[in-house]
Each structure stands twice: as structure tokens, then as C-alpha cells.
């Protein structure tokens, strides 16, 4: 339970850690826009290099990133294969009725790169920003939505509570699973339906206990005067420094480069 | 009623009923109680004795069906004053997992002061202070789910203390902890009571937890059954037996020694202390 999970915050003091969360969120948005609007292979490759450099700089070991990459390897593989096979064009290799095309390979490669960059970018954001800072940054950036009566603070409170409770729920589901198993339930039956059934037996107690948890949590929040007002303290801890501004200028330039090179 | 009574909690003829589908369950009936600032109160009761209801009445999570709960003269059923009441009277709950709200310890402790709208420097100061008070400074940046039960409960304690309450209500805070952390929490409570002069109202079904209390209130079926110093309450074997409570071994020993004609000090709280005292006799 204690090893690093996908995208969980890793404490550190690198430049990337110390960046303002707003900067990081804005940069990630820029990454998404420029990646999705551009399909120049070399541009994407350069982008990948940029993100790898940022990861290196953040002090997060490549090993843990690599391990989390393995979680999406099938997604990557399938994306690549489908693109390679299903794109019409100049055939290279014939596989029965399907043919791998040159165009397919290049589009597949580009989409692969895009996915990897998106994944690495968001994982870097998550691993170098505490959930609270992240929600403070989101709250600040979304605050204008308050004007059209969208309760942004409630959303960010919900986000931070889910960050808090995901590990607790995982732990609890393991306990329930063990309890079921100790009474003879099997979770790796070859029959899909009996498998689904036994997982249902985990889900229902988990849901019931979550309801109870929610009630107690609400009481605890109430008794500490939670009022859903904007979280001034958290947001005031956000401070733009010179690096943040440089980085945003730099990323804007990269974004425009992407838009025009496209 | 006399005017606003500052510096005390008053329960005036408080009853609480829960409405069920077709019946009505009485949780508390006709409770009259005054708690002054600086006291250390223990509330003892078995399941269904109404002790958790009492705790929730004190900071306005529940409203009394009849009667009035006054905290420093403010009634808990007035919506304007509820915020101030909750600032004055902090609550620690039983389950350490379900009362920690934030994903990082430091921010958990800042949660209360933040809601009070304090400036960030003040919040920071309070976080430092509260962490030091419970000896958790090195856990500042940890995630609550990686802490042990005792540590979680200490964080919960710190996060209430950061609001600088005058009264602290603890609803079975030790019932999910191992004996060592239980002892530790109780020691912290004693210190907070003596050094920071915060009123402690400790609720438990475990008589051993409440030995430090200056006044012990025994709840049974929604009413106050007995009241007095722990020594007085635990002396009355028959009355305790009648509601199925055992008295702590310490008081059993004390009574046996006293029956032999020796006088035991009222502030003996542990067996080693008793042994030492007997040796001096």
C-alpha cells in the first residue's frame, strides 16, 4: 500500500515542485492544445524531449514514471496497431486482409507520441503538486465561473476530499475482499459472471460504508465551521514568482510555434 | 433564567427525541448540567445511554427537542451564533479516518482556522503551534492515510486545537486505538487541560479512560445516573452493578485498602502511584 501509486504526489523541493500550481495547470492546458492541434512529428518529438527534461529536473525517478507508463501500454499498443492497419494508403506489409500502410505507421507513431506526451505531462503535474495546491490553483483559475453561479469552491472541496479518500477506500476494499475470501469467495473464477457477482459483493458493502463515512465527514466539517466560502488562505499561498512568468511566456511561444507549424 | 452566563456551558432541562417512522426514541431526558471553563469532565455511559447525542447537542450538530443548551450564554439553536459556538467548542470524533478532510496533515490543521477566515500568517502560526502541542511536527507534510490510528487521532486533536477553542468535546476518541496511543492521547488531554486551560469533556464507555477527570458524569438511559469525582462514583459498587458497569481495578484496590482503615489520597490516578503511596504508609 505504501509504494508510489499512479500519479501520487511525491514530495520534493525542485524548481518544478516550487512552481505555482496555476502555472503548471496553464502549461498543461497549453500542452494539450498544442499537442492536439499539431501533427508534425519533429515538433512532437521535441516536445517529448522537453517534458523528459522537465521530469529529470523535477527529481522524480524515471523508473517510477516508466512503471506507471506500463499501466497504459495496451492503450498505446492498440492505438498504434489500429492506426497502422486501418489507415488507407501505400501498403508496406500485407497481413491477410489487412495491410500496414506507410501513412498508417506515421499517423500511428504521431498519435502514440501524443498520448505519451499527454500522459507524461499530466503525471508530472500530479506528482509535483500537492492535491491541495492543485485544487487551490484550479479554484483560482475557475473562480470567474462564480459569476455565472457555478459554486467553484464546492467543486474543489469535492476534489480534495476525493484525493484524501481514494487510498482509504482502496484499503477498505482490500479488507472487504479479504473478508469475503476468508469465507470462501473466489475472485478469479474463469466464469465472467460469477466473477462479476463476487465483485458486486465487495461493491455493496463498500458503498454502504462510504455513505456512513460521508455522514461522519460532513459532521466533522460542520463542526469545524465549513461554510463553502472561497478558500482565501489556500489561494493566498499561491504566489507568482519570476520563474512562473518566464515559463508561461516560454510555453506560450512553444504553443504558437505548434499552432503555426501545424 | 439569569442573564448571559459567560465562561460556562449550561444545559437547562434538555431532552432529545429521535423521530422514527412510527415511534419515538428518547435519547436524553431532562438533563440539567453546568460545566465551568477549565474543568475536566468525564462522561461515562454504555451504548444507547445518550452520550454521543449529548456531545452533538453541545456544538449544535443536533438541536434539543426541548430545553436549551447555552455555550457562554449563546443558545445552540440560534443560527447566527452557531459559528461562534463551534469556534468556542471543538469536537473530536471516534473514527480517526472519517474526520480528516484534507489530503495533507498541514492543510488538515489549517482547515478550521481557514474557515474562520483568519489571515494566512495567523493560520500558519496556529498550524505550527498545534503540531508542536501534539508532537507531530515531523509529520507536517504527510498524507493522513499513511499515519497510524493514534497519529491520525493526534492530527484530529491538533486540527481542532488550531481553532483555539475554550471547550473540547471528545466523543470516544480512544475507542479505536491501541492501548499505547490511548494512553498518549489521554496524557495530551491532561496537559492541554492543565497548561492551556482548555475545558475537556471526554466521553467514553471505558471507565479506565476517565480516571483523570475531575468530575465524572454517569449517563444511563438518557439521564444523569451519578455524578461526582471518579472516586465517589466508583465507590458505589451496587449502583454501578445495577447498570452493568464494572469499576476500574484501581478503585477496587483503593476501596480494599481503605476498608483496612487507611486513607488514600484523592489524586491517585494510576496503580504505580497507589503502590508508592502504600509503601510510604
Domain boundaries along the sequence of chain B: 8-230
* Strands (E) located in A87-206: 91-95, 98-101
The grid coordinates of residue A8 equal 501520487
Please, which pLDDT band fits residue A1 given cuts at 50, 70 and 90?
A: very low
Model pLDDT for residues B109-156, shown as the tens digit of each residue: 988 998 888 888 898 899 999 999 999 999 888 888 889 999 999 999
Whether residue B93 and residue A130 make contact (CB cut-off 8 A), yes or no, is no
Write out chain A residues lying below 8 Å of B99, CB-based.
216-217, 220
Query: For B103, which of A160, A171, A217 is closest by C-beta distance?
Result: A160
Please answer whether residues B145 and A255 qualify as being in contact, where contact means their C-beta atoms are separated by less than 8 angstroms. Answer: no
CA distance B51 to A69: 52
Residue B253: its pLDDT value, please? 84
Please answer whether residues B160 and B88 qualify as being in contact, where contact means their C-beta atoms are separated by less than 8 angstroms. Answer: no
Write out chain B residues lying below 8 Å of A223, CB-based.
59, 61, 86, 90-91
DSSP-derived letter for residue B81 is T
Whether residue A132 and residue B115 make contact (CB cut-off 8 A), yes or no, is no
Please answer whether residues B55 and B26 qualify as being in contact, where contact means their C-beta atoms are separated by less than 8 angstroms. Answer: no
A162 Cβ under 8 Å from any chain B Cβ: no
CA distance B157 to B144: 13
Nearest CA to B89 out of B78, B99, B74, B103 is that of: B74
Whether residue B100 and residue A164 make contact (CB cut-off 8 A), yes or no, is yes
**Phi then psi for A230, rounded to 5 degrees?**
-55, 140
Please, which pLDDT band fits residue A3 given cuts at 50, 70 and 90?
A: very low
- With vertex at residue B197, the alpha carbon angle to CA B196 and CA B198, rounded to the nearest 5 degrees, is 95
Please answer whether residues B174 and B157 qualify as being in contact, where contact means their C-beta atoms are separated by less than 8 angstroms. Answer: no
Whether residue B114 and residue A132 make contact (CB cut-off 8 A), yes or no, is no
Question: Given a cut of 60, is residue B48 above it in pLDDT?
Answer: yes
CA distance B100 to B145: 9
B89, containing H or E segment: strand B89-92
Question: Given a cut of 70, is residue A137 above it in pLDDT?
Answer: yes
CA distance A163 to A196: 27
Please, which pLDDT band fits residue A41 given cuts at 50, 70 and 90?
A: confident
Please answer whether residues B133 and B168 qualify as being in contact, where contact means their C-beta atoms are separated by less than 8 angstroms. Answer: no
Whether residue A167 and residue B143 make contact (CB cut-off 8 A), yes or no, is yes
Whether residue A220 and residue B99 make contact (CB cut-off 8 A), yes or no, is yes
CA distance B84 to B142: 30
Among A85-94, A246-255, B46-55, B106-115, the range scoring the smallest mean pLDDT is: A85-94
The grid coordinates of residue A201 equal 459483493
DSSP per-residue letters across B33-72: EEEETT-EEEEE--TTSSHHHHHHHHTTSS--SEEEEEET
CA distance A217 to chain B (A): 5
Q: Please classify residue B126 by burial: count the beta carbons closer than 10 Å to its beta carbon, then call 0-12 exposed, 13-18 middle and 19+ buried.
A: buried
Write out chain B residues lying below 8 Å of A233, CB-based.
110, 113-114, 118-120, 123
CB proximity under 8 Å: A 203-262 to B: 212-213, 216-217, 219-227, 229, 231-234, 236-237
Dihedral (Cα; A123, A106, A44, A71), 10-degree rounding: 10
Could you state, in order of their start, the residue ranges of all structural domains in chain A? 1-131+138-145+240-262, 152-227
In chain B, what is the greatest distance between 2 CA atoms, to the nearest angstrom? 62
Write out chain A residues lying below 8 Å of B143, CB-based.
9, 164, 167
Model pLDDT for residues B55-105, shown as the tens digit of each residue: 999 989 999 999 999 999 899 988 888 989 999 999 999 998 899 988 888
Which residue is listed with cell 500550481? A21
Whether residue A225 and residue B87 make contact (CB cut-off 8 A), yes or no, is yes
- Whole-number Cα distances in Å, B180 to A83, B148, B150: 61, 12, 8
Whether residue A223 and residue B113 make contact (CB cut-off 8 A), yes or no, is no
Q: Which residue of B has its CA nearest to A134?
A: B103
Mean pLDDT of all residues in A80-90: 84
A138 Cβ under 8 Å from any chain B Cβ: no
Q: Which residue of A has its CA nearest to B81?
A: A225
CA distance A59 to chain B (A): 18
CA distance A213 to A208: 9
For the domain made up of B8-230, give the CATH fold: Rossmann fold (3.40.50)
Q: What is the CA radius of gyration of chain B?
A: 20
B112 Cβ under 8 Å from any chain A Cβ: yes
Whether residue B112 and residue A163 make contact (CB cut-off 8 A), yes or no, is no
Q: Looking at this predicted complex, what is its ipTM?
A: 0.84
Whether residue A224 and residue B112 make contact (CB cut-off 8 A), yes or no, is yes
Residue B57: its pLDDT value, please? 93
Please answer whether residues B154 and B117 qualify as being in contact, where contact means their C-beta atoms are separated by less than 8 angstroms. Answer: no
DSSP-derived letter for residue A58 is H
Among A187-201, A241-255, B16-30, B127-141, the range scoring the smallest mean pLDDT is: A187-201
- Give B34's strand partners: B10
Please, which pLDDT band fits residue B106 given cuts at 50, 70 and 90?
A: confident
CA distance B108 to A165: 13
Whether residue B103 and residue A168 make contact (CB cut-off 8 A), yes or no, is no
Please answer whether residues B104 and B113 qualify as being in contact, where contact means their C-beta atoms are separated by less than 8 angstroms. Answer: no
CA distance A122 to A31: 10
Query: For B114, which of A130, A217, A231 is closest by C-beta distance?
Result: A231
Which residue is listed with cell 457562554? B72
Whether residue B144 and residue A164 make contact (CB cut-off 8 A), yes or no, is yes
Q: Which residue of B has its CA nearest to A136?
A: B107
Whether residue A168 and residue B97 make contact (CB cut-off 8 A), yes or no, is yes
CA distance B173 to B150: 10
Q: What is the CA radius of gyration of chain A?
A: 23
Please answer whether residues B174 and B95 qualify as being in contact, where contact means their C-beta atoms are separated by less than 8 angstroms. Answer: no
In sequence order, which ranges of chain B are alpha helices (DSSP H)?
51-58, 82-88, 105-115, 120-133, 149-161, 179-195, 230-235, 237-242, 249-259, 271-280
B138 Cβ under 8 Å from any chain A Cβ: no
Residue B257: its pLDDT value, please? 84
Please answer whether residues A41 and A106 qualify as being in contact, where contact means their C-beta atoms are separated by less than 8 angstroms. Answer: yes
Nearest CA to A157 out of A222, A231, A225 is that of: A231
Residue B1: its pLDDT value, please? 45
- With vertex at residue B106, the alpha carbon angle to CA B100 and CA A6, rounded to the nearest 5 degrees, is 75
CA distance B261 to A149: 76
B84 Cβ under 8 Å from any chain A Cβ: no
Model pLDDT for residues B218-264, shown as the tens digit of each residue: 999 899 999 998 888 888 888 888 888 888 888 888 888 888 888 87
CB proximity under 8 Å: A 17-76 to B: none
Give me chain A's average pLDDT, please: 84
Amino acid at each position: 500500500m505504501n509504494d508510489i501509486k499512479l500519479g501520487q504526489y511525491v514530495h520534493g523541493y525542485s524548481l518544478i515542485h516550487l512552481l505555482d500550481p496555476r502555472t503548471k495547470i496553464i502549461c498543461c492546458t497549453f500542452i494539450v492544445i498544442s499537442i492536439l492541434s499539431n501533427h508534425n512529428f519533429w515538433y512532437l518529438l521535441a516536445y517529448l524531449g522537453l517534458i523528459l527534461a522537465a521530469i529529470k529536473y523535477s527529481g522524480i525517478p524515471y523508473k517510477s514514471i516508466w512503471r506507471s507508463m506500463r499501466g497504459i501500454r495496451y492503450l498505446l499498443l492498440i492505438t498504434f496497431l489500429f492506426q497502422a492497419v486501418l489507415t488507407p494508403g501505400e501498403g508496406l506489409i500485407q497481413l491477410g486482409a489487412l495491410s500496414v500502410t506507410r501513412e498508417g505507421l506515421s499517423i500511428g507513431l504521431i498519435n502514440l507520441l501524443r498520448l505519451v506526451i499527454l500522459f507524461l505531462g499530466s503525471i508530472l503535474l500530479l506528482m509535483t503538486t500537492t492535491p491541495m495546491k492543485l485544487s487551490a490553483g484550479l479554484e483560482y483559475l475557475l473562480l470567474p465561473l462564480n459569476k455565472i453561479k457555478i459554486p467553484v469552491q464546492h467543486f474543489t472541496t469535492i476534489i480534495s476530499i476525493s484525493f484524501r479518500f481514494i487510498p482509504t477506500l482502496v484499503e477498505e476494499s482490500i479488507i472487504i475482499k479479504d473478508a469475503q475470501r476468508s469465507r470462501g469467495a473466489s475472485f478469479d473464477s474463469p466464469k465472467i459472471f460469477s466473477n462479476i457477482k463476487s465483485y458486486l459483493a465487495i461493491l455493496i458493502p463498500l458503498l454502504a460504508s462510504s455513505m456512513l463515512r460521508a455522514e461522519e465527514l460532513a459532521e466533522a466539517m460542520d463542526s469545524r465551521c465549513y461554510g463553502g466560502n472561497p478558500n482565501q488562505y489556500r489561494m493566498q499561498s499561491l504566489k507568482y514568482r519570476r520563474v512562473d512568468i518566464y515559463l508561461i511566456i516560454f510555453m506560450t511561444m512553444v504553443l504558437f510555434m505548434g499552432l503555426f507549424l501545424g | 433564567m439569569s442573564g448571559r452566563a459567560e465562561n460556562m456551558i449550561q444545559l437547562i432541562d434538555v431532552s432529545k427525541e429521535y423521530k422514527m417512522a412510527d415511534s419515538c426514541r428518547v435519547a436524553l431526558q431532562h438533563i440539567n448540567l453546568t460545566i465551568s471553563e477549565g474543568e475536566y469532565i468525564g462522561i461515562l455511559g454504555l451504548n444507547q445511554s445518550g452520550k454521543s447525542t449529548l456531545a452533538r447537542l453541545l456544538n449544535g450538530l443536533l438541536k434539543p427537542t426541548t430545553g436549551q443548551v447555552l455555550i457562554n450564554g449563546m443558545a445552540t439553536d440560534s443560527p447566527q451564533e452557531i459559528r461562534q459556538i463551534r469556534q468556542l467548542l471543538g469536537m473530536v470524533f471516534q473514527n480517526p479516518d472519517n474526520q480528516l478532510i484534507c489530503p495533507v496533515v498541514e492543510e488538515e490543521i489549517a482547515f478550521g482556522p481557514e474557515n474562520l477566515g483568519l489571515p494566512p500568517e495567523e493560520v500558519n502560526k496556529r498550524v505550527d503551534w498545534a503540531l508542536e502541542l501534539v508532537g507531530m511536527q515531523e509529520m507536517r507534510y504527510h498524507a493522513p492515510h499513511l499515519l497510524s490510528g493514534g497519529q491520525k487521532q493526534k492530527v484530529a486533536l491538533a486540527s481542532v486545537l488550531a481553532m483555539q477553542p475554550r471547550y473540547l468535546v471528545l466523543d470516544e476518541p480512544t475507542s479505536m486505538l491501541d492501548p499505547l496511543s490511548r494512553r498518549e492521547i489521554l496524557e495530551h488531554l491532561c496537559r492541554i487541560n492543565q497548561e492551556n486551560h482548555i475545558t475537556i469533556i471526554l466521553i467514553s464507555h471505558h471507565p479506565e479512560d476517565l480516571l483523570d477527570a475531575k468530575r465524572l458524569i454517569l449517563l444511563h438511559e438518557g439521564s444523569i445516573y451519578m455524578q461526582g469525582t471518579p472516586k465517589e462514583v466508583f465507590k458505589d459498587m451496587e449502583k454501578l452493578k445495577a447498570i452493568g458497569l464494572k469499576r476500574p481495578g484501581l478503585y477496587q484496590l483503593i476501596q480494599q485498602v481503605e476498608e483496612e482503615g487507611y486513607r488514600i489520597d484523592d489524586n491517585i490516578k494510576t496503580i504505580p502511584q497507589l503502590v508508592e503511596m502504600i509503601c510510604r504508609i
